[in-house]
Amino acid sequence: MKTLKNWSLAGSDAHHVALTVDGKHTLCLYVLESGMFRVAIKRQGAYTLDRTWSIAPQSDVPWEGRQRDSLAGFSLPGFTLEEEGSTLVIATDKLRVIVHQPLALEWQYCDGAGAWQLLTCDRPTSAYQLNAHGDGVAHYQRRMPDDRYYGLGEKSGDLQRNGQRYEMRNLDAMGYNASSTDPLYKHVPFTITRRDNVSFGLYYDNLSSSWFDLGNELDNYHQPYRRWQAESGDIDYYLFVADKVLDVTKAFVRLTGKTLFGPKWSLGYSGSTMHYTDAPDAQNQLMNFIHLCEEHDIPCDSFQLSSGYTSINNKRYVFNWNYDKVPQPEVMSQAFHDAGLRLAANIKPCLLQDHPRYNEVAEQGLFIRDSEADAPERSVFWDDEGSHLDFTHPGAVAWWQENVTKQLLEKGIDSTWNDNNEYEVWDGEARCHGFGTPIAIKHIRPVMPLLMMRASMEAQQRFAPEKRPFLISRSGCAGMQRYVQTWSGDNRTNWTTLRYNIRMGLGMSLSGLYNVGHDVGGFSGDKPDAELFVRWIQNGVMHPRFTIHSWNDDRTVNEPWMYPAATPAIRAAIALRYRLLPYLYTLLWQAHADDEPMLRPTFLDHEQDAQTFAECDEFMLGRDLLVASVVEPGQRTRRLWLPDNQTGWYDFASQRWYSAGQWVTLDAPLETQPMLVRAGAGLPLSERLRHVDANADDCRTLQLFPLQGKGVTNGMLFEDDGESWGYQQGNALWLNWEMRSDAQSIHVTFTRKGTFQPAWQRLKVTLPVGEQRKLLIEGVEVNSAQAEVVLAQIASA
C-alpha cells in the first residue's frame, strides 16, 4: 500500500474541514458533537461506497442506505480552526485534533481542570495507507502502554483484547472454540480504549472484511502501534471521547441506532432443538413439548422451529413446509397459542440450486449475480450449492416479505428466526443490485443480513401492526440492535464454552448489542453431562436471551427434564428467571429508552476499583445484580471479588450483607446460582407464572436491600401490557421509588407516571432477613413483615 503523506488545507465550512492529500485525495474531518469527530478519506476525491447502513443517530436509515456525508441527527457544534506553523488545530470544548505534517492526527481531550491532555495519536510514520492500484486501506495508531482495549462485538477469548489479532469476516463457525476461534458471525469494527482518567471509542464504518491488530504485531521501524486494515472500501472512522467506558458504549448505540424494545414474552424461556423438526413426526414431537413442560412444571413462553420443517429428503428449502412432518401447521400453531406459547420459525436467505422455486426467483433477477457471467452467483450452502437473495433489490425484499407473510405468519408463526445469514459469497466482485446502483458484494456483505432482518421485521409489523415485533438473527453488523435479538451462534458443548460465552456476551454488550444470549447447554458435540447442564442453565437464565438449543452428535436433545435427578435444580433456576422478569423487563426498557447495557462487566459501574478490570467469570445484570456463575466441574463454592461500590453487597439467597472491595467465598451447591445484590437496590419480583400473561401477573414484590449506613438510593419499575405500542402514548407504568436509610429507619417513597393499570394493584415491600430498622412508607411506619403499597394511592410524578 502507498502511504499518504503531504496535505494542504482545501477549505472548511460550519461543520467540517477538508484537506487535499498528496495532490489527489481528500481528507474530510467532520465535527459532529463536542466529543465526536469523523475522519473520512475520499480516494481520488470520491468514496468507494457512498452509502452507509450502520450510522443512524436519529432514525432508521433509508432502505437504499444513508448518504455517507449526511449530517442528519448530529448536534453539529461550533469549532475553532487554527493554523500553527505546519500543523492545523480543530477544536471544540471537549475534543481537539492536531493535524501534523506528514499526515498524522493527534487527539487531545479537555480534562476536568480545563487543560488539554493527550488522548491518542496516529503512528507518526505511515499512518494512512491506500492500495495505489485498487482496493485495500489501512490505518495505524500509536499504542500507549496503559491502553486497555475492549469491544469488537462477538469475539472469543478474553474480554480485554490487548495483544491479539482479530478478523471481521462473517462465517458460519459451527462448533467454534469459545476461547480462540476467529472470525465468527458478526461484523462490528468498533473498539473501546480505556485509560485511568478517560476512554474513547473508535468505529470504522467499513463493511468489507477487515483485520484489527491490537499489539500482536511489532515492527522495528515504528513505535508500538495498533492497526486496522480492510480488504476494500474507505477509511471512514468516528472517534468519540468520554470519561467512562459506559459512556462510550452508550454513545456508540446512539450513533448506530436504538435497541429494539421487544415484547415481554421474549424474555421468557424459549425452547428449541434440531431434533424435533428433523424427526419424521415433527408435529407430534413439537406438540409433545407443550405437554412435557406441563408435566415437569417448567414455565415457557416460546419455541423456535429449526429448519427441519422445510426439508425435502435431507436438505432444507426455505419457505417450503414438509407436510409429511408437519401436516397441519395452523393446528400446531394454535395448540402452542392455546398453551400461551409463541412460535419463531427458522428462515435462511439462500435457495439451494434444486429449490422448487429457484428458477422463479432466478428469472426475476433476485439473486446476487456472478461477477463474470449473466447468471446467479452460486456458493456452498449446507449440503449443496445455492444462490443468495439480494436484499439490495426491491423485488427480492418484496418476494421475501410475501413469503414470510404467507408461509409463516398466516400459518400462525409469530416471529422470524433469521439464520445462516453470514453471506459466505467469496466471489468478492459478485454483483448486488444496490437499489439501482450496482455494488460488489465485498463492500456490503454484512449489510445483507441487516436488510434481511429488516425485511422480516417489516413483514411482521404489517401483519400485526398492533404488536411490537420480535426477531432473532445470528449474523449482522453494527446497527442490528435496531431489529433483532441475537446470540453467540453454534457453540460447542464443554466447560470452556460456558466460561468464555460469558465474555462473548459481555463483548457484544460493550459493542452495542444488548439483547444477547447463548445456546444454553451447548449446540454441537457431545451432550452435556448433568452437572454442566445445570450450571449452564443457571448461567443462561441470567442473560437477556434464555434459549436451550442443541444439535447433539448422538441425536440426544437438551431439554430441562433430560436428567431426572437434576430436574429440580433446573426447575428452580428457570423459576428464578420468571421471578426476576419484572427486573429483566425494566432492564430491556432501559436498554431501549436510555441505551443502558443489560449485561455489564463488573468494571462498567466500578471503574474506581482496579481489581474489576482483571479477567473474571462474574458479571453484572443491570446495575444491581452481581452474577457469579459456577464454570468449573465439581465446584461447590465460588470465590469472587466484590467490587468496591462503597455500599456493600447482599447475598441474594441468604440476604447476608458483605462489605465491598474484598474477596469472598460463597457456598454454591449444585442447586444454587451464586448472586449478590448491590446495597441500596430494590428488586421488583413476580410470583411464579406458567408464561408471561399481563392479566394473570397479579402479584408484585419490591425486595429492598437498604444501605447499612446513611444515604439515599432510588430505582424504577417499568410495566405495560407487554406487547403493544401503548407506551408511546403513555399507556405504561413508570414506578419510581426512593429509599432513605439511616441508623434507625428506612424511609421509602414512590411516584408514578403513565396510565397503565397492571393486574397487580398492591405492591408488597420486603426487607432482608434480620433487618431491625423501622420501615416507613410515605412517612407512615408499617410492619415490615406485612408492608404493602396500594398502587392507586401513589402520587403521579
Bridge partners, residue 369, by sequence = 376, 431
- The mean per-residue pLDDT over the stretch 380-398 comes to 97
Q: Name the pLDDT band for 84 (thresholds 50, 70, 90).
A: confident
Coil, strand or helix: which one is 773?
Answer: coil
Query: Which H or E run contains 177?
Result: none
pLDDT in tens, 317-368: 999 999 999 999 999 999 999 999 999 999 999 999 999 999 999 999 999 9
Q: Say how far apart CA 500 and CA 259 lie, in whole Å.
A: 24
614, part of any domain? yes
pLDDT in tens, 712-738: 999 999 999 999 999 999 999 999 999
Minimal CA–CA distance to 736: which of 755, 756, 720, 713? 713
Q: Please indicate, yes or no, whether residues 719 and 613 belong to a single structural domain of this protein.
A: no
Which residues are CB-neighbours of 722 under 8 A, at least 6 positions away?
263, 264, 265, 585, 692, 694
Q: Please indicate, yes or no, whether residues 635 and 746 belong to a single structural domain of this protein.
A: no
Which residues are CB-neighbours of 724 under 8 A, at least 6 positions away?
466, 467, 468, 731
Beta strands per DSSP E along 679-771: 681-686, 700-705, 711-719, 733-741, 745-753, 762-766
pLDDT in tens, 774-789: 999 999 999 988 899 9
Beta strands per DSSP E along 143-245: 148-151, 165-168, 186-187, 190-194, 199-204, 210-213, 225-230, 236-242
pLDDT for 565: 98
Q: Say how far apart CA 25 and CA 4 lie, in whole Å.
A: 9
Coil, strand or helix: which one is 296?
Answer: coil
Residue 232 grid cell: 476494500
Q: Say how far apart CA 350 and CA 365 lie, in whole Å.
A: 14
pLDDT in tens, 421-473: 999 999 999 999 999 999 999 999 999 999 999 999 999 999 999 999 999 99
Question: Is the bond leading into 643 cis (omega within 30 degrees of zero)?
Answer: no
Minimal CA–CA distance to 600: which of 242, 287, 360, 249? 249
Q: What percent of the chain has pLDDT over 70?
A: 100
785, part of any domain? yes
Q: For residues 141 and 226, is the Cβ–Cβ distance under 8 A? A: yes
Q: Name the pLDDT band for 688 (thresholds 50, 70, 90).
A: confident
CA angle 370, 374, 379 (to 5 degrees): 25
- Amino acid 369 reads R
> What does the longest C-alpha to C-alpha distance in the chain come to?
82
36, part of any domain? yes
Lowest-confidence range among 130-134, 378-382, 660-664, 715-719? 130-134
At which residue does the C-alpha cell 500500500 appear?
1
506, part of any domain? no
Coil, strand or helix: which one is 631?
Answer: coil
pLDDT in tens, 238-290: 999 999 999 999 999 999 999 999 999 999 999 999 999 999 999 999 999 99
Q: Name the pLDDT band for 216 (thresholds 50, 70, 90).
A: very high
Q: Name the pLDDT band for 225 (thresholds 50, 70, 90).
A: very high
Q: Say how far apart CA 156 and CA 180 lie, in whole Å.
A: 5
Prediction pTM value: 0.98
- Amino acid 359 reads N
By DSSP bridging, strand 104-110 and strand 270-273 are: unpaired
Range of the domain at 231: 2-256
Helix %, strand %, coil % for the chain, to 5?
20, 35, 45
Q: For residues 228 and 239, is the Cβ–Cβ distance under 8 A? A: no
Q: Please indicate, yes or no, whether residues 731 and 764 belong to a single structural domain of this protein.
A: yes
Query: Which H or E run contains 171?
Result: none
Backbone angles phi, psi at 579, to 5 degrees: -65, -35
Beta strands per DSSP E along 335-378: 342-347, 350-352
CB atoms within 10 A of CB 334: 12
Coil, strand or helix: which one is 9?
Answer: strand
Q: For residues 289 and 273, is the Cβ–Cβ distance under 8 A? A: no
Report CA torsion sign: 662, 667, 668, 672.
Answer: negative
Q: Please indicate, yes or no, whether residues 708 and 638 belong to a single structural domain of this protein.
A: no
Q: In 358-510, which residue ranges form alpha helices assigned H by DSSP?
A: 358-363, 394-403, 441-444, 447-463, 495-510
Q: Choose the final residue of a domain: 632, 651, 678.
A: 678
pLDDT in tens, 174-186: 999 999 999 999 9
25, part of any domain? yes
Q: Please indicate, yes or no, whether residues 789 and 699 belong to a single structural domain of this protein.
A: yes
Q: Choose the final residue of a domain: 227, 256, 285.
A: 256
Q: Choose the final residue of a domain: 206, 233, 256.
A: 256
CATH of the domain at 142: 2.60.40.1760
At which residue does the C-alpha cell 444454587 appear?
672
Minimal CA–CA distance to 635: which of 535, 538, 494, 562? 535
231, part of any domain? yes
Q: For residues 737 and 726, is the Cβ–Cβ distance under 8 A? A: no
Instruction: Please check the confidence at residue 68 and state whether its pLDDT lies above 90.
Output: yes
Q: Say how far apart CA 711 and CA 740 lie, in whole Å.
A: 6
pLDDT for 353: 97
Instruction: Please check the confidence at residue 673 and state whether its pLDDT lies above 90.
Output: yes
Q: Please indicate, yes or no, whether residues 770 and 628 belong to a single structural domain of this protein.
A: no
Instruction: Please check the confidence at residue 85 and state whether its pLDDT lies above 90.
Output: no
Bridge partners, residue 30, by sequence = 16, 38
**Dihedral, 753, 755, 756, 762 alpha carbons, nearest 10:** 60
- The mean per-residue pLDDT over the stretch 53-62 comes to 97
* Burial class of residue 583, CB neighbours in 10 A (0-12, 13-18, 19+): buried
CATH of the domain at 643: 2.60.40.1180
Q: Please indicate, yes or no, whether residues 137 and 222 belong to a single structural domain of this protein.
A: yes
Coil, strand or helix: which one is 219?
Answer: coil
Q: In 414-552, which residue ranges form alpha helices assigned H by DSSP?
A: 441-444, 447-463, 495-510, 530-540
172 vs 797, residue with greater confidence: 172
Distance (Å) of CA 612 to CA 376, 500, 504, 619, 624: 52, 17, 17, 10, 15
Coil, strand or helix: which one is 92?
Answer: coil
Query: Which H or E run contains 33?
Result: strand 25-33
Q: Please indicate, yes or no, whether residues 720 and 667 belong to a single structural domain of this protein.
A: no
Q: Name the pLDDT band for 103 (thresholds 50, 70, 90).
A: very high
Report CA torsion sign: 654, 656, 659, 664.
Answer: negative
Question: Is the bond leading into 145 cis (omega within 30 degrees of zero)?
Answer: no
Q: Please indicate, yes or no, whether residues 62 and 121 belong to a single structural domain of this protein.
A: yes
Q: Please indicate, yes or no, whether residues 37 and 122 belong to a single structural domain of this protein.
A: yes
Q: Say how far apart CA 211 and CA 230 lie, in whole Å.
A: 6
Q: Say how far apart CA 701 and CA 128 lie, in whole Å.
A: 58
Instruction: Please check the confidence at residue 133 and state whether its pLDDT lies above 90.
Output: no
Q: Say how far apart CA 417 and CA 472 lie, in whole Å.
A: 5
Q: Say how far apart CA 125 and CA 201 lie, in whole Å.
A: 23
Residue 272 grid cell: 428449541
Instruction: Please check the confidence at residue 134 and state whether its pLDDT lies above 80.
Output: no
Coil, strand or helix: which one is 139?
Answer: strand
In total, how many domains does the chain have? 3
361, part of any domain? no
Q: Say how far apart CA 666 and CA 735 lie, in whole Å.
A: 33
Q: What is the mean pLDDT of the chain?
A: 97
Q: Say how far apart CA 54 and CA 481 lie, in whole Å.
A: 10
- The mean per-residue pLDDT over the stretch 59-66 comes to 97
Q: Please indicate, yes or no, whether residues 641 and 716 belong to a single structural domain of this protein.
A: no
Backbone angles phi, psi at 328, to 5 degrees: -135, 80
- The mean per-residue pLDDT over the stretch 15-21 comes to 98
pLDDT in tens, 587-625: 999 999 999 999 999 999 999 999 999 999 999 999 999
Q: Please indicate, yes or no, whether residues 671 and 766 belong to a single structural domain of this protein.
A: no
Distance (Å) of CA 611 to CA 242, 599, 642, 644, 656: 21, 19, 9, 9, 23
- How many CA atoms does the CB half-sphere of 395 hold within 13 Å? 12
Residue 441 grid cell: 458484494
Q: Say how far apart CA 473 and CA 306 lie, in whole Å.
A: 13
- Amino acid 682 reads G
379, part of any domain? no
Bridge partners, residue 194, by sequence = 148, 199
